[in-house]
Amino acid sequence: MVEFDYNLGAIGIPLFLILMLAEYLALKAKGKSLHTYSDSITSGSMGACLLISEALLKVYTFGVFIWIWENFRLFDFSSTSIITWVIFFFGVDFFYYWFHRIAHERNILWGAHEGHHQGEEFNYTTAIRQSAFQYGFSWIFYLPLAFMGCPPEVFLGQFLILKGYQFWIHTQGINRIPLLEGVFSTPSSHRVHHAKNPIYIDRNYGGTMVIWDRMFGTWQPELATEACHYGTTNPTHTLSPVKLNLRHWATMINDSRHTQKWSDKIGLWFKPTGWRPQDCVGADHHLQQEGTADREKYDPYTTTGKKIYAGIASLLTFLAGTMFIFLSPQLELWLKISGALILVSGVIVTSSLLENKSNLIPIEMIRLPAMLWFIATLWSYPVTTTVVNTIVMNKSPQQTLAYAGNVSRWPEWHPQSEKVVTQQSSTLAAGDQFAEQVSTPIGQNDLSWTVEQYQPGIIWQASAKNQTNGSIINLTYTVAATDNNETQFERRLEYTLPNFVLVAANAMYFKEIIEEKSERSLQRLQTAVNNL
């Protein structure tokens, strides 16, 4: 069973924030003003809503992909083969194109995608402006890849590449790029995709490449004579991320209730985007596929104090959201639900402040302490990593375990152990204590050990407190005789890290090194025991 303990996509969020700030400063230095405060904060609020839905849904929807791959795949591909990665680079991009295109062309899916296009500015903040419900639909389009045999880790890697690539093309700060235009998605081609000009509407759906647009007739280059203007064909007139996420579906629900024809009540959901029954169409209605001319942007007045508080609250939301989505596969359901309520209420309050409303401030007096509690909880959330290695020795279980439990010999065979301080030179028993200095990727650490149990020929177990960083370690050696008069030796290492930074660093870097050293240590232990 393939398992994923963390949602590594969250690691890109801090980088995206840095790039957004860099873009803003670079454009300002050139004398360009292509950001509005309310639009940028609202984009961030929409992005936070997406993080919440992903944290609640991704672990389950990705489980469906894994289940299909494990039980119904037609072909076997190696995740270590370059050919596999090349094939499914195109595969992921192809199915993304079709999800993206259908999301623009059919009412039911446009409701799950419209939020990404509601921003009336186009910059890196637009990249994180996503509908909270998009992932609830998009994952279905990738299931054919599981049937084809795409290894889950390859799919996840390619999906992260796709999403990371799409971030940088949401900018007006980069002009047309020779050689890439018409082959890869670029800022120029993606500006066209976001434009509501009639000539540009619903074009250039490609994620990483636009070869699919050229193959299927949806390609449109950016024209020097036609400047792009952004937003949806029908103006939003709100900054509330809840209203923005529900806007199109609310219209369809209302239409299905009021239209007289039963065929329209059901059929409107599957009609082309923007289609409405004749008895529901208002004078201000514009079909999405028609496009519209430019118009004044929605940027309501608010006080400086409310703007500052909205900015600070948004940064706290992104901090909590980053930890939330990263740890989501580990979190209990009650904590997921609590976190979702705290974050959603935060973006609702923020949007009301940006519209110069004060009616939700009493709620913020309760929510802010809850947000700080949530951040502190996620910061110190206990996550335990387990590394298990086994190897066969040619000595008896008693001899093998007695040698492994003689901690004075650890530096001889464990590459991480530099020095052990103990009063004994034999196998330690329950209650015995000793100290150890170990080398880690971030320097020397001091461990304080206590032996928990020792049953000769069966088990030896000890626990430690890392005096340097506060982590907790449990180490268990178990032995069992084999049918060949040999000994199967198992080393189980469990370590719990004290804060989010170390947990994230462990997931991305430390764990792989620890697993490698643990495997090497058993090979050296095997040599030492076999030579006794």
Q: What is the pTM of this model?
A: 0.84
The percent of residues in the chain predicted with pLDDT above 70, rounded, is: 97
In the three-class reduction of DSSP (H, G, I as helix; E, B as strand; rest coil), residue 147 is classed as helix
Tens of pLDDT, residue by residue over 419-456, are 999 988 899 999 999 999 998 877 899 999 999 999 99
Lowest mean pLDDT among 51-60, 187-196, 509-518: 51-60
Cα separation, 227 vs 197, whole angstroms? 9
Find the mean pLDDT for residues 182-199.
Answer: 96
Which pLDDT score, from 0 to 100, does residue 1 have? Answer: 41
Residue bearing tokens 């500006």: 191
Cα separation, 190 vs 172, whole angstroms? 10
DSSP state of 506: I
Give the tokens for residue 292.
């519209």
Which pLDDT score, from 0 to 100, does residue 78 have? Answer: 96
Find the mean pLDDT for residues 504-513.
Answer: 90
**What are the two backbone dihedrals, phi and then psi, of residue 271, each rounded to the nearest 5 degrees?**
-75, 170
Which pLDDT score, from 0 to 100, does residue 25 have? Answer: 95
In the three-class reduction of DSSP (H, G, I as helix; E, B as strand; rest coil), residue 46 is classed as helix
Lowest mean pLDDT among 135-144, 232-241, 276-285: 276-285
The yes-or-no verdict on residue 122 having pLDDT over 90 is: yes
Tens of pLDDT, residue by residue over 346-398, are 999 999 999 999 999 999 999 999 999 999 999 999 999 999 999 999 999 99
CB 14 within 8 A of CB 322: yes
Least Cα distance to 464 among 527, 520, 420, 427 occurs for: 420
**32 Cα distance to chain centroid:** 32
Query: Cα dist. 25→235, 304, 310, 393 in Å?
Result: 29, 21, 20, 62
Residue ranges of domains in the chain, CATH in brackets: 8-237+299-379 (no CATH), 383-530 (3.30.530.20)
CB 10 within 8 A of CB 322: yes
Which pLDDT score, from 0 to 100, does residue 58 have? Answer: 76
CB 219 within 8 A of CB 203: yes
Which pLDDT score, from 0 to 100, does residue 2 have? Answer: 45
Query: Which string of DSSP letters, residue by residue, matches 220-278?
Result: -PPPTTS---BS-SS------HHHHHHHHHHHHHHHHHH-S-HHHHHHGGGSBTT---T
60 or 223: which carries more pLDDT confidence? Answer: 223
Tens of pLDDT, residue by residue over 145-177, are 999 999 999 999 999 899 999 999 999 999 999
Query: Cα dist. 332→8, 49, 66, 259, 339 in Å?
Result: 18, 19, 21, 44, 11
Find the mean pLDDT for residues 305-321.
Answer: 92
Query: Which string of DSSP letters, residue by residue, matches 61-126?
Result: HHHHHHHHHHHH-SS---TT-HHHHHHHHHHHHHHHHHHHHHHHHBHHHHTTTGGGG--SS-SHHH
CA dihedral (134, 58, 351, 27) positive or negative = negative
Which pLDDT score, from 0 to 100, does residue 290 have? Answer: 65
Tens of pLDDT, residue by residue over 15-58, are 888 999 999 999 999 999 899 999 999 999 998 888 888 777 87
Please state, rounded to an integer, the average pLDDT across all residues of the chain. Answer: 92
List all residues 6 or more positions away from 360 whose beta carbon is below 8 Å from its beta carbon. 348, 349, 352, 353
